[in-house]
Amino acid sequence: MEAGAEEAIVPALWSQDTFIEKTGGSEIIGQMWAFADKKGRPCCLIPEATALFQEKSKELLGQRRERMLFYTARCYRYERPQAGRYREFVQLGLEYLSPDPVRALRICQDICTGFLDSLGLRYEIDDAAQRGLSYYLNGQGFEIRCAELGAQQQVVGGGAYKEGAGFGIGAERLLLALATQGI
C-alpha cells in the first residue's frame, strides 16, 4: 500500500467481551452471531474489526510509536439484509495506531478519500457523524455516503479513538455504489 501500511490478518472468531466493552450499547451487540465455545467461553463472529485493533494496540505497536495497518475482513451481523449489506460482508479497513488520534484521523480521511477519488466515486463526507460506537472519541466519527444508494447510503465509517483512528469500507456497498454511478 502506497501509504506505508502493513497488512494485518483479522480473525473471524473472537471473544464477545471485546465487542461488548468496545461498542458499549451499540446496536451491534444485538446483531452479533454469539455462542459459547467448547469450553463455555462467550465467542462471536466478528461484527467489525476496529475493536480488535484497539484491544491489541500495545501488542501491535511493540516498541513503535505509530503503526498503520490495513485489512480485509469477513464480518457478520445478524440484521435484516439491506441493499449492499448482508449478514456476512467484507470490510476493507485501515487503522492508524498513534498517540495523536486527531492527526491519525486526518491521515486516515486523506487516505480514504484519495482511494475513493482514484476510483472516480462521487460521494459526500459527514465529518461530524454520530457513529453510535462508544470507542470513538465523543461518540463522533465520519461517514462517507453515496446519494445514489437511497436509504442505505453509507459506504465508509470511521473515526478517532484513544489509540489512534481508522475507517472501514463496506466492500459490497462500495461495489453497489460504483455500479449505480456507472463506474
Mean pLDDT of the chain: 89
Asked if residue 44 lies in contact with residue 16, where contact means CB atoms within 8 angstroms, the answer is yes
pLDDT digit string, tens, across residues 6-63: 999 999 999 988 888 776 666 666 788 889 999 999 999 999 899 899 999 999 999 9
CA-CA distance, 143 to 129, in Å (whole number)? 6
DSSP assigned state of 11: -
pLDDT digit string, tens, across residues 86-110: 788 999 999 999 999 999 999 999 9
Query: Does the pTM of the predicted model rise above 0.85?
Result: yes
Q: In percent, how much of the chain has pLDDT > 70?
A: 91
